Structure 1
Amino acid sequence: MTNPLQPRPKQDGRHTPNLWPVWLVAPGALLLVGATAFGLYHGAELLLASETTGKKPVGVQDVIKTTVTVLTLIGAVLAALYAYRKQLLDEGTSRRADSTQLTERYTKAAEQLGHEQAAVRLAGVYAMARLADDWPEQRQVCVDVLCAYLRMPYETDTTAPAFRHGEREVRLTIIRTIRNHLQDPTTGTTWCGLDLDFTGATFDGGDFSGSTFSGGRVDFGGSAFSGGEVSFSGSTYSGGRVDFGGSTYSGSEVDFGGSTYSGGEVSFSGSTFSGGRVSFSGSTFSGGEVSFSGSTFSGGEIYFNHSTFSGGEVLFIGSTFSGGEVSFGASTYSGGYVSFGASTYSSGEVSFGGSTFSGGETSFIGSTFSGGEISFGRSTYSGGEISFGRSIFSGGELSFGRSIFYGGEISFDGSTYSGGTVSFEHLRIQAAAAIQWGPFPAIPVNHP
Structure 2
Amino acid sequence: MPVGGMLWSVTAPRDEPLRVMPWWLVLIGLLLAGALGWWVLDWLLGEADRAAQPDTRATLRIDAIRTGLTVVAGTGGGLALLLAARRQWISERAQRHQEAVAAHDQAHRERVQAHTEAVAEAGQRHQERQATAAEHDAAERRLTELYTRAVELLGNDNAAVRLGGLHALERLGQDNPAQRTTIGAVLCAYLRMTPPEDDARESEVRRTAQRVLTRHLRADGDQWWPEVTLDLTGARLDGFDAGGCTLVDADLTGAVCTGVTRLTGATVRGTLSLRATFDELLLDGLAGDGEVVLDGARTAHTSLDGADLGGAVSCRGATFGRLTGRGATFHQSVAFDAARVEDSATFRAATFLGGLSMEHVVFAGYAGFRQARFVDLALFRFTEFGDMAKFEQARFEGAASFGRARFGGPVRFEGATFRRTPLVDQARATTSAPHTWPDGVRPARLDDDWLLLTDP
Q: How far apart are residue 144 of structure 1 and its match?
A: 0.9
Corresponding residue for 2:255?
223
Q: Partner residue of 2:295?
A: 269
Match status 1:211 vs 2:242 = no
Q: Which residue of 2 aligns with 1:67?
A: 108
Aligned equivalents of 1:194, 1:440: Cα separation in 2? 54
* TM-score for both structures, normalised by structure 1: 0.74
**Preserved contact between residue 153 and residue 161 of structure 2 (Cα < 8 Å):** yes
Alpha-carbon shift at residue 166 of structure 1 (Å): 2.0
Change beyond 3 A, Cα 1:192–1:337: farther
The residue that corresponds to 2:75 in the other structure is none
Distance 1:264 1:382, change over 3 A: closer
Q: Equivalent residue for 1:7?
A: none
**1:235 Cα offset (Å):** 0.7
Q: Is the 8 A contact 2:424 2:454 kept in 1?
A: no
Alpha-carbon distance between aligned partners in 2 of 1:91 and 1:253, rounded to the nearest angstrom? 53
2:318 aligned residue (295, 312, 317): 295
**Partner residue of 2:153 out of 112, 120, 123:** 112
1:54 and 1:334 map into 2 onto residues whose CA distance is 102
Shift of 1:41: 4.1
Partner of 1:341: 359
Q: Which residue of 1 aligns with 2:164?
A: 123
- Give SS of 2:9's match: helix
1:308 maps to 329
- Residue 270 of structure 2 corresponds to 240
Instruction: Supply the distance in 2 between the matched residues of 1:144 and 1:332 (Cα, whole angstroms).
Output: 37
Figure out how many residues of one structure are paired with residues of the other and give that number: 371
Number of the residue aligned with 1:400: 412
Structure 2 match to 1:318: 338
Whether 2:183 is the aligned partner of 1:142: answer yes
How is 1:165-184 mapped onto 2 (pairs within 5 angstroms)? 165-184=200-219
The secondary structure found in structure 2 opposite 1:254 is strand
Amino acid corresponding to residue 361 of structure 1 in structure 2 = L
Deviation at 1:207, TM superposition (A): 1.5
Question: What is the one-letter code of the residue matched to 2:253?
Answer: G
Distance 1:377 1:195 in 2: 40
Q: Which has the higher strand share?
A: 1
RCO comparison, higher one (Cα < 8 Å, 6+): 1
1:118–1:165 Cα contact (<8 Å) kept: no
If you compute each CA radius of gyration, which structure gives the higher value, 1 or 2?
Answer: 2
CA distance in 2, matches of 1:266, 1:192: 20
Deviation at residue 188 of structure 1 after TM alignment: 6.7
Instruction: Give the whole-Å Cα distance in 1 for the aligned partners of 2:371 and 2:379.
Output: 15
Give me the whole-angstrom Cα distance separating, in 2, the residues matched to 1:37 and 1:125.
60
The reply to whether residue 255 of structure 1 matches residue 282 of structure 2 is yes
CA-to-partner distance for each residue in 1:201-222, whole Å, 9 max, x for gaps? 1222132110112x3x311001
Q: Matched residues in 1 for 2:205 and 2:141: separation?
A: 28
Q: Secondary structure at the match of 1:282?
A: coil
Listed as ranges, the matches of 1:416-427 within 5 Å are 416-417=427-428, 424-425=435-436
Return the letter of the residue paired with 1:65: Q
Q: 96, 115, 134: which one pairs with 1:56?
A: 96
For each residue in 1:72-129, what CA deviation from the matched residue of structure 2 results, as whole angstroms up to 9, or x when unmatched?
Answer: 1232123222211211111111111110111111111111112222222111111112
- Aligned pairs for 1:13-92 within 5 A: 32=2, 39-42=9-12, 45=13, 56-57=96-97, 58-92=99-133
Structure 2 CA distance for aligned equivalents of residues 325 and 312 of structure 1: 24
CA contact (8 A) 1:233 1:255 kept: yes
The sequence identity of aligned pairs, in percent, is: 25
Distance, in Å, in 2 between the alignment partners of 1:410 and 1:373 is 24
Larger mean Cα displacement after TM superposition, 187-196 or 137-146: 187-196
The alignment partner of 1:71 has SS state of helix
- Quote the residue 2:453 is aligned against: 440
Q: Shift in Å at residue 167 of structure 1?
A: 2.0
Is structure 2 residue 195 aligned with structure 1 residue 154?
Answer: yes
1: CA distance, partners of 2:402 / 2:284: 28
**2:398 matched to which residue of 1?**
384
Letter in 2 for 1:265: E
Classify 1:70/1:398 alpha carbon distance in 2 versus 1 (closer, same or farther; 3 Å): farther
More helix by share: 2
Q: Output the amino acid matched with 2:313.
A: V
Q: Contact conserved, 1:357 with 1:384, CA < 8 A, in 2?
A: no
- Counterpart residue identity of residue 409, structure 1: R
Partners of 2:423 and 2:455 within 8 A in 1: no
Q: CA deviation at 1:283?
A: 1.2
Letter in 2 for 1:76: E
Contact kept in structure 1, 2:284 and 2:305, CA below 8 Å = yes
Give the secondary-structure state (helix, strand or coil) at the position aligned to 2:419: strand
Q: Deviations 1:402-424 (Å, cap 9, x if unpaired)? A: x2134423522433437566854
- Alpha-carbon distance in 2 for matches of 1:424, 1:352: 14
Unpaired segments ≥5 residues, structure 1: 1-30, 156-161, 430-434, 444-448
On the 8 A contact 1:41/1:67 being kept in 2, the answer is no
Q: Secondary structure at the match of 2:114?
A: helix
